[in-house]
Amino acid sequence: MREQGSEQKALSAAELFDGMGIEYERAFGHLPAQLEAIEWLTGRLAAGARVLDVGSGTGRPVADLLVRSGCDVTGIDVSRTMVELARAQVPGARFEQCGVHDFEAPEGGFDAVCAFFPLLVMSRTEVSAALLRMAGWLAPGGYLVTATVPADVDDVEIEWMGRRVRVSSFSAEEYVRQIREECGLDVLHHAVSVFQPDDAQAGPEDHVFCYARRAEELPGG
């Protein structure tokens, strides 16, 4: 992420991804650590498992791979363009234009929640609240598989893929700590990797991936 100064208005998350569309999939659709995470998750889910894909984008690769593995998939995204693309590309899943703070999980929750990079274009308070909400949507024994760009930044304006946005994030250590201590999940794996998007306007990015699980039963349950 590169800080930038300009009078041009920063885009909201919906505006950013409405304007980006399929360009995002071309740049980030073959991220090795993400593909490994999905393979790890699907290897632990039973057929028909209920999975929520937060920030589902174009539906590829995450929702598509989950559907192919036999999961019952719901995707949510703030971008109307992304939802339309996902519905066309992955007809076996359900997609809803909705943000993480507005979504209401169905009764019983989900066997897994995937959240690959949907929390960056918001404030730190919103990031922490989103992690808590997603953890709360997990059924007992359910998995949260997530990734973000680790950085010690709060509401910083940057240029990303030729567009101006305001972003917030945490260090890798703090991100994992919140999942473990604030969300109360068992962290099974976390790692930082570097990825070079297939886009001339985007430089290499650090990514932190975290696999976590809710206990089979809550204390006293």
Say what the pLDDT of residue 201 is: 64
Position 218 confidence tier, pLDDT thresholds 50, 70, 90: low
Q: How confident is the model at residue 26 (pLDDT cuts 50, 70, 90)?
A: confident
pLDDT tens track for 115-164:
999 999 999 999 999 999 999 999 999 999 999 999 999 999 998 888 99
- Its pTM stands at 0.91
Which pLDDT score is estimated for 7? Answer: 54
Of 6-10, 29-33, 131-135, 198-202, where does mean pLDDT reach its minimum?
198-202
| HEC-encoded secondary structure of the chain | CEECCCCCCCECHHHHHHHHCHHHHHHHCCCHHHHHHHHHHHCCCCCCCEEEEECCCCCCCHHHHHHHCCCEEEEEECCHHHHHHHHHHCCCCEEEECCCCCCCCCCCCEEEEEEECCCCCCCHHHHHHHHHHHHHCEEEEEEEEEEECCCCEEEEEEEECCEEEEEEECCHHHHHHHHHHHCCCEEEEEEEEEECCCCCCCCCEEEEEEEEECCCCCCCC
